Structure 1
């Protein structure tokens, strides 16, 4: 991990926020999760979160299957995925009925992989092992949302932010959320590239001047001068970030970058709820 060096020719300021940092630990403890929610950290890393043999089992099953892409009109360069993402089914600030029908197919194809365990359940259990009440998949209108997707952003993700409060009208989940995280578990990483870059900058109205046409992303000039963290992926490592900070993924070089991912909401009740 590096902090404060220029990326893509954009130089940050010399000032440093001591709370804008990535913590590394052997587990997602209660204090680390609470600290991420409170803003004491920007990211938490847990190396060896999933044993290598389990990562290899999931990866081998996925490599034998064809991946789809997120909607190409909105996501360029293309990002491949296995499973259903809710972002492709947004409709007037809500969720299209097409999401629920697509989700049935998603569950069937994941069950069809023939894995010896449920990788998303394993991720939820590891994430919530030290959190009261653990972690559960969120619901909308009483219906359970997707539990996760496998993503392959070999050409990278544009600079963007994720914030359900701004992306959806009203509450996305049946339980209002007061904090939001993004979870990734790396199954395959390239020898170079594929870094997650996180900037100490949250959305402001004037940032819309930098939004790319018909895209989810922004021109990187939107974060010019902002302090940042650059985090290289490692097989078996879990990364939890505050996605309300602008962030991006750099293009991979030399191998596929495949990760399991889902969003996590801290509900007003104190529960941790996921969706994808």
Structure 2
């Protein structure tokens, strides 16, 4: 039997009717790699949010670091990390982000609705995280039509000069809720491979990403996005998004941390 034939029964995607305490606990404990919840929000909210966003121009993440480009509406905290520290330029960007989202004129806050649905059964509650008492960005609408390179997300490693938030985190998740999906492509691939120092030999120069050979023959799961579906993953596993073909791939996204106090804390 070759390594590629082996299967970890805990490395799986679980579909649930909601983000229950038991399911989120399973993800935190490593009993699964991803949670999928279809129709997280009423379809009316999904359609209204998409319509409002389609009328606006999206910016790109920093193109030197993120190439091929990924478009966004809102603030990406990763653009404001330098030498392991969140730079002061993040806070004016958060202010602009809030103004831009308010200008959409939606009768609801889509990020607040997503947080409420995610934390409805969580005993510790859920809220936007704070740094030095200041509230972080709520999230971002992302459009990776050309895909995301293979990478992992870990605030502890990216913001290594102290905690990113005022509360210490014990684990981290990544949340996405899909507003629009392409006719084909756009799949999220998650490999059963976590970062090790040797992986840095595969990092692309100046990039957030790695050459795909970094994951070798590791087991993987593939998630095809669906409109209205929300996915919560363990982003410490290397993951990527395949290029899209056809319609735009737009999702609301934010990071989620489980704090030592038992709260779920989010940031964009």
Q: TM-score, normalised by structure 1?
A: 0.95
1:80 aligns with 2:67: no
Report if the CA contact (8 A) 1:184-1:238 is conserved: yes
Pairwise CA distance, 1:223: 0.5
Match of 2:179 in 1: 187
Per-residue deviation, residues 229-248 of structure 1 (Å, max 9, x unmatched): 00000000000000000000
* 2:241 aligned residue (249, 255, 269): 249
Structure 1 unmatched ranges of 5 or more: 1-10
Match of 1:213 in 2: 205
Q: Residues of 1 paired with 2:127 and 2:225: CA distance?
A: 25
Match of 1:90 in 2: 81
Matches within 5 A, 1:34-183: 34-168=25-159, 169-183=161-175
Q: Residues of 1 paired with 2:167 and 2:153: CA distance?
A: 18
1:13 aligned counterpart, secondary structure: helix
Pairwise CA distance, 1:224: 1.3
Matches within 5 A, 1:223-242: 223-242=215-234
2:89 aligned counterpart, secondary structure: helix
Q: Residues of 2 paired with 1:275 and 1:174: CA distance?
A: 12
1:17 aligned counterpart, secondary structure: coil
1:97 aligned counterpart, secondary structure: coil
Report if the CA contact (8 A) 2:124-2:261 is conserved: no
Report if the CA contact (8 A) 1:12-1:228 is conserved: no
Structure 1 residues 12 and 193: CA distance shift in structure 2, 3 A: farther
Structure 2 unmatched ranges of 5 or more: none
1:255 aligned counterpart, secondary structure: coil
Q: Residues of 1 paired with 2:196 and 2:213: CA distance?
A: 14
Per-residue deviation, residues 197-239 of structure 1 (Å, max 9, x unmatched): 0000000000000000100000000011000000000000000
1:271 aligns with 2:263: yes
Q: Residues of 1 paired with 2:22 and 2:32: CA distance?
A: 11
Pairwise CA distance, 1:92: 1.8
Q: TM-score, normalised by structure 2?
A: 0.98
Q: Residues of 2 paired with 1:65 and 1:25: CA distance?
A: 33
Q: Residues of 1 paired with 2:230 and 2:125: CA distance?
A: 17
Match of 1:259 in 2: 251
Q: Residues of 2 paired with 1:51 and 1:222: CA distance?
A: 39
Pairwise CA distance, 1:35: 0.5
